[in-house]
Amino acid sequence: MNANDFPVTLDALAALCKRRGFIFQSSEIYGGINGFWDYGPMGCELKRNIREAWWKAMVRDRDDIVGLDASIIMHPRVWEASGHVGGFSDPMQSCRQCRRMFRADQVAEQLRESAWRRALTDAAATAGADGAVVWNPDAAARWLEKKGAALAPGLLARCREGERIETARLAALLAGFATPEGRPCPACGGELTPPRDFNLMFRTFIGALEDSAGQAYLRPETAQGIFANFLNVLDTARVKIPFGIAQIGKAFRNEINPRNYTFRSREFEQMELEYFIRPGTDAEMHAYWVEERMKWYRSIGLPEGRLSKYVYEPKELAHYASACTDVMYRFPFGTQELEGIAARGDFDLRRHQEYSGKAMEYFDPEKNERFVPHVVEPSAGVDRVALAALCEAYREEWVPKEAGGEPRTAVPGEPLPEGYEVRTVLRFAPVLAPIKAAVFPLLKNRPELVEKAKEVHALLRRRWPVFYDQTGAIGRRYRRQDEIGTPLGITIDFQTLDDGTVTVRDRDTMRQERAPIAELRDRVAAALGEA
RNA sequence: GCGGGUGUAGCUCAACGGUAGAGCUCCAGCCUUCCAAGCUGGCUGUACGGGUUCGAUUCCCGUCACCCGCUCCA
């Protein structure tokens, strides 16, 4: 079995993440809160490394992309323009009896298909002169007492008074079936709430009064902050098309059903680029960004074999989009999206132009023309990348008890071979590792070793996050670092005192080499791939 | 959102209608010349709220969270 196919269970990963301070459930001391997660000392370093790798690749290493950090709460009109409020999110009605949810515009159709509604029509309705349904309330009551009790419990509950059915009330309900306000639940005949805007945005209020005038939203995506600042950046950053604006930040979606550990959370962090292009170059630029982004995922240690692309069919695309490709990763719970790369045309800028009354145009001095740029949007989830990195890094291995043995990937279901023990290790790419190296004195009760180790620690920590540990046997300290994915272990032993060399132990091979302290920084940089 | 299951220490598990225990982890000390060694000591717990009871971790109800299936969803 290929090491990449080691079946990580989310349970095992979540246990390690908690044990070693990567991820905690939010508000755990109060019983937890569904859909929210906290990142501990190791987890926040991991996320920081992911963000910095992205920022470096997208902004620092390029001439054509600039950064932005927009506010989380924006003018409510932003979300009208974007389509997140209003027509885009369909009003919903829910049943007060069975609590099922229905799209308001589909209730009439679903009612025609409804089993209880058909049975009731057969039992108690005739067609009137003008084709309208004429109900016989007494027949309806008889039906409801027998067959209808199981088929339409919601309707029964609405017109029952003690043991008997209030025929007059039933008659009123039946009469209302034809009106939008009186439509019953297609599933049980219960009472539907009025249509309500049901969207995934968290609402809040600006100012002390909680009235509709102050209503605002936590952003459900960071992208709109970029579009809303398009003109500001254009006027100040001296950018020339094609150019991009990049942003990393929190976004919030009130998901119905968060699942799969941190994969779908209600509060999450996005890394988004809006890359503005000349109309007509959409397909070419979209293809370019798909490849750029795939390269980036490989550069942080996600292997080709676990990554894939999902190319949207034309019928799956939003009406304004010309292409969309998702970057997928094979998680333990299935192949899921890390990032979506969409060619959105000029939809967003045009909508903001329409809603704000400001011309969202780019002036091309060479061709002496104005146009609304099109945009390609690579939009990635920091938390999803972090989860993928953890899944990818997690290994259980068999290690020979005798010195100098090489670790082997454990074979699930097979017993531990004689003479081996288990180690859990996170094989992060060095760029993502929360701690780059750990420094140990071989023994803590020899002051000369401790003193030298602290010197080496001080030497390295100026450049990298480096951990110092003198507690417990040396083997135990190596294993602790394995569990947080520290690539290098540096040990000060008695030979160090004689010749100024230390041992450098590699996390993955568990092999050790000696290196002079004078060359240590270069050796560490080389081992981390920074040289 | 629906249905089913689960909830005891950081982890794995035990116990009982009457003072909640073990192993591992963690911390301290001793020891230890390179892969979770040993000895001694120590910290930590019945998810939350209510009810029944002389007494509830145990029985009942509610809430919350987690897991599985369905549903929904970029």
If you write DSSP's letter for every residue of A340-398 in order, what string do you get?
EEEEEETHHHHHHHHHH-----EEETTTTEEEPPEEEEEEEEHHHHHHHHHHHHEEEEE
Nearest nucleotide to A490 (CA to C1') is: B34
Give A67's strand partners: A246
pLDDT band at residue A68 using 50, 70 and 90 as cut-offs: very high
Q: Is A508 helix (H, G, I), strand (E, B) or coil?
A: coil
In degrees and rounded to multiples of 5, residue A469 shows phi and psi of -150, 130
* Same fold flag, A10-79+219-391 and A435-527: no
* Domain ranges across chain A: 10-79+219-391, 90-197, 435-527
Helix (H) or strand (E) holding A133, with range, is strand A133-135
Name the nt closest to A337 by C-alpha to C1'. B74
Say how far apart CA A135 and CA A120 lie, in whole Å.
Answer: 10
Stated in angstroms, how far is A256 CA from B68 C1'?
Answer: 18
Residue A332 Cβ < 7 Å to strand B: no
Q: Please determine, for residue A204, whether its predicted confidence score (pLDDT) is greater than 80.
A: yes
Range A467-490 average pLDDT = 95
Q: ipTM for the complex? A: 0.91
Mean pLDDT computed over A115-124: 87
Residues lying close to strand B (Cβ under 7 A), chosen from 227-286 of chain A, are 255-261, 264
Distance separating alpha carbons of residues A33 and A513, to the nearest angstrom? 47
CA A447 → CA A44, A46, A202, A246, A450, distances in Å?
34, 34, 57, 51, 5
Q: Residues 60-119 of chain A: which lie with beta carbon within 7 Å of strand B?
A: 99-101
For A236-292, how does the pLDDT look when each residue is reduced to its tens digit (9 = 90+)? 999 999 999 999 999 998 877 788 899 989 999 999 999 999 999 999 999 999 999
Per-residue pLDDT band at A158 (split at 50, 70, 90): confident
CA of A255 to C1' of B71 (A): 13
The pLDDT value given to residue A467: 95
Average pLDDT of the residues of chain A? 89
Instruction: Measure the CA–CA gap between A488 and A475, rounded to whole angstroms.
Output: 14
- Nucleic strand B under 7 Å from the C-beta of A399: yes
Nearest in space to A362 (alpha carbons), one of A248, A241, A246: A241
Mean predicted confidence (pLDDT) in A196-220 = 80
* Strand B, nucleotides covered by protein (CB < 7 Å): 1-2, 7, 10-12, 25-28, 30-37, 47-48, 63-68, 70-74
Closest nt by CA–C1' to A200: B73
No. of helices (H) and no. of strands (E), chain A:
18, 28
For strand B, list residues 28-47 of chain A whose Cβ lies within 7 Å of it. Answer: 31-35
Say how far A75 CA is from B47 C1', in Å. Answer: 40
User: Which nucleotide lies closest to A511 by the C1' atom and the CA atom?
Assistant: B35
Residue that has been written with the tokens 């132990």 in this structure: A505
| Residue A181 in this model has a pLDDT that exceeds 70 | yes
Q: Helices A41-55 and A382-393: crossing angle, nearest 10°?
A: 110
For the segment A432-454, what is each residue's pLDDT rounded down to a tens digit? 999 999 999 999 999 999 999 99
The three-class DSSP label of residue A334 is strand
Structure tokens at A140: 């309806």
Model confidence at A317, pLDDT cuts 50, 70, 90, reads confident
Q: Which nucleotide is nearest to A474 (CA to C1')?
A: B34
pLDDT for position A210: 72
Q: Which residues from 292-311 of A have any strand B atom under 7 Å from their CB?
A: 310
Find the residue closest to B26 using CA and C1' atoms.
A19
Across the range A42-67, mean pLDDT stands at 97
Nucleotide nearest to A493 (CA to C1'): B33
Nearest nucleotide, C1' to the C-alpha of A261? B66
> Structure tokens of A223?
């992208």
Residue A29 (CA) to nucleotide B45 (C1'), in angstroms, measures 13
Give the distance, in angstroms, between residue A468 CA and nucleotide B31 C1'. 22
Taking the C1' atom of B1, which residue's CA lies nearest? A100
CATH class of A435-527: alpha beta
For chain A residues 484-513, those near strand B by a CB cutoff of 7 A are 491-494, 502-503, 505, 510-512
CA A116 – C1' B4 distance (Å)? 27
Q: Which residue has the higher pLDDT, A31 or A497?
A: A497
Percent of chain A having pLDDT more than 90? 59
pLDDT of residue A151: 81
* A32/B54 CA-to-C1' distance in Å: 36
Any bridge partners for residue A488, and if so which? A437, A506
Nearest to A420 by CA among A402, A432, A442: A402
Which of these ranges, A210-224, A483-497, A507-521, has the smallest mean pLDDT? A210-224
- Residue A66's pLDDT is 97
- Residue A234 predicted with pLDDT over 50: yes
pLDDT score of A483 more than 50:
yes
What is the CA A413 to C1' B9 distance in angstroms? 29
Q: Provide the CA A409 to C1' B33 distance, Å, integer.
A: 30
What are the tokens at A274?
A: 């809006």
Which nucleotide is closest to the Cα of A33 by its C1'? B65
Instruction: Decide if A47 contacts A39 (C-beta within 8 A).
Output: yes
Q: Using pLDDT thresholds of 50, 70 and 90, give the confidence band for residue A88.
A: very low
Q: How confident is the model at residue A99 (pLDDT cuts 50, 70, 90)?
A: low
Closest nucleotide to A479's CA, by C1' atom?
Answer: B36
Residue A1 has pLDDT above 50, yes or no: no
Question: A196 pLDDT band (50/70/90 cuts)?
Answer: low
Most confident of A89-103, A389-403, A457-471: A457-471
Say how far A189 CA is from B62 C1', in Å: 28
| pLDDT value of residue A5 | 57
**For the ranges A4-13, A27-36, A40-49, A160-169, which has the lowest average pLDDT?**
A4-13
Hey, what are A349's tokens? Answer: 């800028």
Q: Work out the burial of residue A121: count CB atoms within 10 Å of its CB; fewer than 13 is exposed, 13-18 middle, 19 or more buried.
A: middle
pTM (two decimals): 0.83
- Name the closest residue (CA) to the C1' of nucleotide B38: A473
Tally Cβ neighbours within 10 Å of residue A276.
25
Q: Which residue has the higher pLDDT, A281 or A5?
A: A281
Range picked from A32-41, A173-182, A448-457 for highest mean pLDDT: A448-457
How confident is the model at residue A30, as a pLDDT? 86
What phi, psi does A415 have (nearest 5°)?
Answer: -70, 155
Output A181 or A432, whichever has higher pLDDT.
A432
Q: Show the tokens assigned to A77.
A: 């009109």
Contact A387, A262 (CB under 8 A): yes
pLDDT at residue A98 is higher than 80: no
**Would you state the structure tokens that stand for residue A520, as one six-digit string?**
């240590």
DSSP A184: B
Q: List, in sequence order, every residue forming a beta bridge with A363; answer none if it has no partner.
A: A370
Answer whether any strand B atom is within 7 A of the Cβ of A397.
no
Residue for token pair 């001296």: A238
- Check if residue A318 sits with its Cβ under 7 angstroms from strand B: no
**Sequence-separated (6 or more) residues with CB below 8 Å from residue A44:** none
Task: Look at A89-103, A241-255, A326-340 and tell me which has the smallest mean pLDDT.
Answer: A89-103
pLDDT at A194: 72
Cα–Cα distance for residue pair A240/A66, rounded to 1 Å: 11
Q: How far apart are CA A281 and CA A242, in angstroms?
A: 10
Q: Which CATH superfamily is domain A10-79+219-391 in?
A: Bira Bifunctional Protein; Domain 2 (3.30.930.10)
Query: Closest nucleotide to residue A103 (Cα to C1')?
Result: B72
The pLDDT score that the predictor gives to residue A3 is 38
Give me the mean pLDDT over the A287-307 stretch: 96
